[in-house]
Structure 1
Amino acid sequence: MTTPDDGAARSPRVPFDRIGVAVLRELVESIVTGQFAPGDLLPPEGALSTDFGVSRTVIRESVKRLQEKGMVTVAQGRGTHVNPIASWNLLDPLVLSTLILHDDTLGILDDLSVVREALEAVMAGAAATHRTDAAVAELRDSVVQMRNAIGDPDAFRTADVEFHHSVMRLSQNVLAENIAGSLFDHANESTRYRGVNPEDAYEAAVSEHERVVEAIDVGDAVAAQRAMEEHIRVSWERRRLPSPRASGR
């Protein structure tokens, strides 16, 4: 007699291979770009199977993944409806990266910067209360690397990313670190988020990071919070590209 733990009693999970991943990615993109708008019905399983040239099983699994991401609701006998963006799991890596990729108005990146500012400012304040000599030395080393890499954007960005992750770790807030780190890393994959830095932008960024370190070093949580808040806000304002839609192009 089999038991609930017996592997033979369980239905095997359908492998979601590269074809399925490609179908899911295209469906997510179709929803993000508005090809299927909130309230719309997705085409039935058979039609999607024909359109993508894949089996119904692949389509069924893809729609299931969409539902797990909050992008659709499957109602028996009524089809699959697209949900409004407020229902989506915006921290899902595929959803977030697709939103950023197609953020023509920079609205998502503006929102992301505001959330980063709030989270990382609080984390910088917490880092000041948990400061250690070793942690401060690590932060100072990242700033030195940034200063030495002012003529090398890639090396500068690497040191910048390490600085921010170091502050997150020092905050000892694992949940905030997970959320802010995910937002930061996905945003940095976007050329729109990296924007175009004006002259002396790197020098200004180094000075802003130094103010964060100084506040953390003396254990001033309020000053550390304000310094990080200002840095994230002004650095985004500095490099932010004009929105194509806003400029009428």
Structure 2
Amino acid sequence: MAELVDDVVGGRYAAGSALPNEADLGARFGVSRTVVRESVKLLQDRGLVRSHQGVGTVVREFDAWDLIDDDVLSALVRHDESRAILDELVAVRAGLERDMAAATAGSGTDVAEVRAAYERMAALREDPIAFGLADVAFHDAVMRLSGNRLGRVIVNRIHDKARTTERYHGAVTPEAVTRTLAEHAAVLAALEAADADAAGTAMHAHITGSWARRRPAQTLRDIRRSAAPSSDAGG
């Protein structure tokens, strides 16, 4: 099924075109017609195709696709040569994390867990892998403390997919690490001051600014248009 998802998302079968029949798909993948039928049903559940009597299984327009589905989103990121999907993903993430940071700051919740993650980042700045894990823990702590369970799940899901592609990552230089730490420190300071506006602004500035620095300048989209005004090394 994943291969069929990849074929549709990657454009092998364009919107409005029909998939090969069950026999041909079965021969291509070396599976039975029953397996093909079940796979096509899974594509239908994800909004990728629709069966039409007398026509066959037809690929649907992009707007019908379930973009949050793991297989669909993974394929979209994999084929995102223009980085348009990554632009949208960052905009969604930045908006949600801005709101969750503001909620955490406004709740009066103890943010010692966030500080501990920040201190781990600072201590591990010479180890890119460990630094990155501490960075993820920082963001996840802020989201968890916000109480927005759905927002946290959405961000973690889409961000996990972004991290699977090299197009999302930039060089982890000492300068990038220093700037990332400073941006996280601004978020932490606002959380500890219980300043919801400052926490949301600082979080949004960090996420969008980090992506703007990593993204090739010649095709950079204005990913700040859909959210509040704003100013990681990789996240």
Q: State the TM-score, normalized to the length of structure 2.
A: 0.88
Contact 2:128–2:172 (CA under 8 A) maintained in structure 1: no
Contact 1:112–1:183 (CA under 8 A) maintained in structure 2: yes
Contact 1:123–1:168 (CA under 8 A) maintained in structure 2: yes
In structure 1, what is the equivalent of residue 78 of structure 2?
A: 101
Q: 5+ unaligned residues in a row in structure 1: which ranges?
A: 1-23, 245-249
* 1:114 and 2:91 correspond: yes
In structure 2, what is the equivalent of residue 194 of structure 1?
A: 169
Q: CA deviation at 1:130?
A: 2.1
Letter paired with 1:52 = F
In structure 1, what is the equivalent of residue 142 of structure 2?
A: 167
* 1:51 and 2:28 correspond: yes
Equivalent of 1:92 in 69, 93, 103: 69
Equivalent of 2:6 in 8, 21, 29: 29
After superposition, the C-alpha distances for 1:100-124 in whole angstroms (9 at most, x for unaligned) are 1121111111111111111110111
Q: CA deviation at 1:199?
A: 4.7
Q: 5+ unaligned residues in a row in structure 2: which ranges?
A: 220-235
Q: State the TM-score, normalized to the length of structure 1.
A: 0.84
Percent of pairs identical after alignment?
46
In structure 2, what is the equivalent of residue 6 of structure 1?
A: none
Letter paired with 2:182 = S
Separation (CA, whole Å) in 2 of partners of 1:150 and 1:198: 10
Separation (CA, whole Å) in 1 of partners of 2:29 and 2:192: 57
In structure 2, what is the equivalent of residue 207 of structure 1?
A: 182
Separation (CA, whole Å) in 1 of partners of 2:112 and 2:12: 50
Letter paired with 2:203 = M
In structure 2, what is the equivalent of residue 223 of structure 1?
A: 198
Letter paired with 2:72 = V
Contact 2:187–2:203 (CA under 8 A) maintained in structure 1: yes
After superposition, the C-alpha distances for 1:205-234 in whole angstroms (9 at most, x for unaligned) are 111011111111111111111000100011
RMSD, aligned CA = 1.6
Q: CA deviation at 1:158?
A: 0.2
Q: CA deviation at 1:156?
A: 0.9
Separation (CA, whole Å) in 1 of partners of 2:216 and 2:137: 24
Q: What is the correspondence of 1:115-130 to structure 2 with a 5 Å cutoff? A: 115-130=92-107
Separation (CA, whole Å) in 2 of partners of 1:233 and 1:166: 19
Q: CA deviation at 1:196?
A: 2.6
Tell me which moved more, 155-164 or 185-194.
Answer: 185-194
* 1:176 and 2:151 correspond: yes
Q: CA deviation at 1:201?
A: 0.6
Separation (CA, whole Å) in 1 of partners of 2:57 and 2:46: 14
In structure 1, what is the equivalent of residue 51 of structure 2?
A: 74
Q: CA deviation at 1:62?
A: 0.4
In structure 2, what is the equivalent of residue 149 of structure 1?
A: 124
After superposition, the C-alpha distances for 1:67-93 in whole angstroms (9 at most, x for unaligned) are 111111112222111112211111111
Change (3 A) 1:243 1:106: farther
